[in-house]
Amino acid sequence: MADASAEGPPEMFGTVRDRLDFYRDQIHSETTLLCRRSNTYLGVQSFLIVVYASTMANLNEQWGKFFTLIVPLFLALLGVTLSAHAWPGIKASYRLIDHWYAKQTFLLRNERSASDDREGVPLFSHRETMQNGNDKALGFSTRTPWLFASVWVLLGGFSLYVHLAGLAG
């Protein structure tokens, strides 16, 4: 009976195609996770924008001025905080997608059997495997937290300006 340790480590992937399928599964999983994170984040931000607009429209004479100052500022602070908390998760998903995409691109460029179909025609052109295209595709999700954080800073500043201009005038 032969010693199992003398055979060396077992192959993780049986074929190059198995490795390519694994990379694609990882990209798909991470893209799905990024999509869910982005959708949840956008849903929360949309809700906060609607609440902000509603609070700014408060016309109650007894407590309306105080309410339209404090609640919008709180919502702006909450929006910035949520953006700051959403950013690491979105960035982590982006980095993982980028990692697996780079591995897939390297495999497609260096293993002819992974990039050719049965007729010997490449499955992907160079243009489809370029890193720049991946960055552009993921750009919306990675820019959204910064965009909303900026909007919340502007909305908070607007709320302060409206009340300070109202007090001075």
Find the range with the poorest average confidence among 19-23, 50-54, 67-71, 164-168.
164-168
Residue 36 forms part of a structural domain: yes
Domain count, the chain: 1
Residue 136 forms part of a structural domain: yes
What's the pLDDT band for 93 if we cut at 50, 70, 90?
Answer: very high
Please give, one letter per residue, the 3-state secondary structure of the chain: CCCHHHHCCCCCCCCHHHHHHHHHHHHHHHHHHHHHHHHHHHHHHHHHHHHHHHHHCCCCCCCHHHHHHHHHHHHHHHHHHHHHHHHHHHHHHHHHHHHHHHHHHHHHHHCHHHHECCCCCECCCHHHHCHHHHHHHHHHHHHHHHHHHHHHHHHHHHHHHHHHHHHHC
The full length of the chain comes to: 169
Question: Would you say residue 157 has pLDDT above 80?
Answer: yes
What's the pLDDT band for 127 if we cut at 50, 70, 90?
Answer: low
Residue 29 forms part of a structural domain: yes
Residue 2 forms part of a structural domain: no
Residue 5 forms part of a structural domain: no
In whole angstroms, give the CA distance from residue 37 to residue 29. 12
Show the domain range for 132.
Answer: 14-115+126-168
Q: How high is the pLDDT of residue 122? A: 54
3-class DSSP assignment, residue 106:
helix
Residue 31 forms part of a structural domain: yes
Residue 7 forms part of a structural domain: no
Report the pLDDT averaged over residues 20-45: 93
DSSP label at residue 141: H
pLDDT > 90: percent of the chain: 47
DSSP label at residue 122: B
This model's pTM is above 0.85: no
Question: Would you say residue 149 has pLDDT above 90?
Answer: yes
